[in-house]
Structure 1
Amino acid sequence: METLRLGTHNVNGIRAALRRGAARFWDATDADAVALQEVRCRVADLPEDAFGDHHVTLEAGQLAGRNGVAVLTRVPPTRVRTLSGTVHRAAPDGPMAEESVERIVNRDLAPFAHEGRYLEVDLADAPVRVASLYLPKGAAWPHEEGSRDKYERKMRFMRGFARLLTASRREAAALGREFVVVGDFNVAHTRQDLRNWRSNQKSEGFLPEERDWFGSIVGPRRLVDVVRHLEPESDGPYSWWSWRGQAFANDSGWRIDYHLASPRLARAAIRHHTAREASYEERMSDHCPVVVDYDLTALA
């Protein structure tokens, strides 16, 4: 493989997204690997051929109708790690089977272990470790009454996740692999990353402490925001819009779906596509896919 095409998409319910054309989109995109978030479906209720010609590794979690992350690949990954130590895997057109995999030990992330929020795989056909993330939404405490528990829960996840990112990136490097975490971070890092930043400075996802945390996990020696690296001056491109009102029509969105890559892999990124649908009626989810092509020959 000379180029790795990697996509991420919070589908906000796999069954609804498939009805709205997600399978057609990914077939046409011809991605080598796709990370999904908010699959929100019990394994037994997954539609037939939900994942097309890809092998699927799914961490559905145990909260019915909530969360769930997956990574779709051309060939089965060589290594899988989750917070729970279990996944469901299937070949194209094959049955889902539950498997025990390596469990990630992290004190702050332990309360989230069965929520289906994080999954990482080592690709068999590229020297890359890919992780799919669905970070808790949180809340705007103290600006929102009664929201402290949700706020503190998100802060705990972020605290533990920062340590996990460092450990996974370093371990991947020791094994000769690059590292990239993709998915829904539920944080807009800078003013460029949401349309109405002035009115959202006390909103969850744009709180100063959330933005500071995001700034602490990125940097030239840690992880690089690939889309911002390729498009440093632009506002957006946004990846989430509310279903309500005229947010989509007015492009009043947030950029909260990211590719954060190890520096060497980020330098190998050659193009990106934030696939905002042409109209409200064509939307597959409240998030749109974010796809990046990585030139693997640059890693040789």
Structure 2
Amino acid sequence: MKIITLNVCGLLNAVDKGFLDWMQAQAADVVCIQNLGVKSYQLPDAIYQPDGYDGYFFDGENQHLGGVGIYCKRMPKAIMTGLGFELADRDARFMQADYEKFSVASFLMPRGENPQEKTEFMAQFLEFLKKLRRKRREFIICGSWHIAHRTLDLANWEANQESIGFRPEERAWMDQVFGPLGFIDTFRELNRDEGHYTWWPNADQPRIQQAGWRLDYQVVGPNLRRQIKNAWIDESAQFSEHAPLIVEYDLNL
């Protein structure tokens, strides 16, 4: 099974840059997208239900903030939206597609323009993650977590130790997710080198000229560790400020 996650920074703009053609060429089983920048009812059929995929979307109150979607080759048994707390649901930051034995979620952490609000969101989301670990169902949580976990996850880390997305308290929060809670960063499970990034601050400038950050993840529970077969970032796919993260699993839908 192949899963892709991409923060599109506006779905219509990404489509104009060739996102759908690229997606269909990848033949992924599930594609999670974030930061839609458009209400789902405004999407033409070719984007809502592209050839070979069923599209599912969760709209926020403000179309310019948040919004997530999932494209599925095989229809899921159920689609669930929301986390049950306002900071997540007003901006449509989480939805999941349920299959027989596992769920695939599209997730968008607040970027952090309001640090206090992001801190509150993280506290509530951590409680949600604790509940997931008590469930029998396995989860693959895909999206922009908007935190670079370790120094090798961003260029120029020395100059960014107080920057939003790399603050000590944010990194400590990730330590809890990948430590006591037992979740796994699928990319780092297979790739331990520096220089791998998923976000650059200016989509109109060449990425090789910019300092990148790794802000996008596919996160799984420990029971799926052995099912992670391959993981890579397609830095050549430039549909937004973010690059697609692609992971292959030894799982069947």
TM-score band w.r.t. shorter chain: over 0.9
Inter-partner Cα distance in structure 2 for 1:289 and 1:163: 28
Inter-partner Cα distance in structure 2 for 1:44 and 1:122: 23
Amino acid at match of 1:122: D
Inter-partner Cα distance in structure 1 for 2:44 and 2:79: 24
Structure 1 residues 133 and 292: alpha-carbon distance in aligned structure 2, compared to 1, 3 A threshold: same
Inter-partner Cα distance in structure 2 for 1:27 and 1:264: 30
Whether the aligned pair in 1 keeps the contact of 2:234 and 2:243 (CA below 8 Å) is yes
Match for residue 194 of structure 1 among 151, 154, 157: 154
- Aligned pair count reads 250
Deviation at 1:247, TM superposition (A): 6.4
Inter-partner Cα distance in structure 1 for 2:169 and 2:195: 21
Structure 1 residues 164 and 10: alpha-carbon distance in aligned structure 2, compared to 1, 3 A threshold: same
Inter-partner Cα distance in structure 2 for 1:189 and 1:28: 31
Match for residue 295 of structure 1 among 244, 250, 253: 250
Whether the aligned pair in 1 keeps the contact of 2:203 and 2:238 (CA below 8 Å) is no
* Counterpart check, 1:263 vs 2:222: yes
Structure 1 residues 62 and 196: alpha-carbon distance in aligned structure 2, compared to 1, 3 A threshold: same
Indicate the percent of aligned positions where both proteins have the same amino acid.
31
Whether the aligned pair in 1 keeps the contact of 2:141 and 2:218 (CA below 8 Å) is yes
Whether the aligned pair in 1 keeps the contact of 2:35 and 2:65 (CA below 8 Å) is yes
Whether the aligned pair in 1 keeps the contact of 2:36 and 2:63 (CA below 8 Å) is no
Inter-partner Cα distance in structure 2 for 1:138 and 1:55: 32
The within-5 A match list for 1:73-222 is 73-83=72-82, 104-105=83-84, 109-124=85-100, 127-139=101-113, 150-171=114-135, 173=136, 177-219=137-179, 222=182
Which residue matches 1:87?
A: none
* 1:253-273 Cα distance to aligned partner (Å, 9 max, x none): 000000111112132111112
Runs (4+) of structure 1 exceeding 3 A deviation are: 244-247
Amino acid at match of 2:110: P
Deviation at 1:220, TM superposition (A): 7.6
Whether the aligned pair in 1 keeps the contact of 2:32 and 2:69 (CA below 8 Å) is yes
Which residue matches 1:254?
A: 213
Whether the aligned pair in 2 keeps the contact of 1:8 and 1:36 (CA below 8 Å) is yes
Amino acid at match of 2:97: V
Deviation at 1:221, TM superposition (A): 5.8
Structure 2: segments with no counterpart, 5+ residues: none
Whether the aligned pair in 2 keeps the contact of 1:169 and 1:179 (CA below 8 Å) is no
> Matched residue of 2:128: which SS?
helix
Inter-partner Cα distance in structure 2 for 1:169 and 1:11: 29
Whether the aligned pair in 1 keeps the contact of 2:88 and 2:94 (CA below 8 Å) is no
> Matched residue of 1:8: which SS?
strand
Which residue matches 2:15?
A: 18
Amino acid at match of 1:64: Q
Rg larger in 1 or in 2? 1
> Matched residue of 2:246: which SS?
strand
Whether the aligned pair in 2 keeps the contact of 1:40 and 1:66 (CA below 8 Å) is yes
Structure 1 residues 244 and 34: alpha-carbon distance in aligned structure 2, compared to 1, 3 A threshold: closer
Match for residue 200 of structure 2 among 241, 251, 258: 241
Inter-partner Cα distance in structure 2 for 1:60 and 1:236: 34
Structure 1: segments with no counterpart, 5+ residues: 84-103, 140-149
Structure 1 residues 180 and 236: alpha-carbon distance in aligned structure 2, compared to 1, 3 A threshold: farther
Deviation at 1:121, TM superposition (A): 1.9
Deviation at 1:64, TM superposition (A): 2.4
Deviation at 1:24, TM superposition (A): 1.3
Whether the aligned pair in 2 keeps the contact of 1:15 and 1:47 (CA below 8 Å) is no
Inter-partner Cα distance in structure 2 for 1:242 and 1:18: 20
Inter-partner Cα distance in structure 1 for 2:149 and 2:206: 20
Whether the aligned pair in 1 keeps the contact of 2:203 and 2:241 (CA below 8 Å) is no
Whether the aligned pair in 1 keeps the contact of 2:183 and 2:221 (CA below 8 Å) is yes
Whether the aligned pair in 1 keeps the contact of 2:201 and 2:210 (CA below 8 Å) is no
> Matched residue of 2:129: which SS?
helix
TM-score when scaled to structure 2?
0.92
> Matched residue of 2:134: which SS?
helix
Which residue matches 1:35?
A: 32
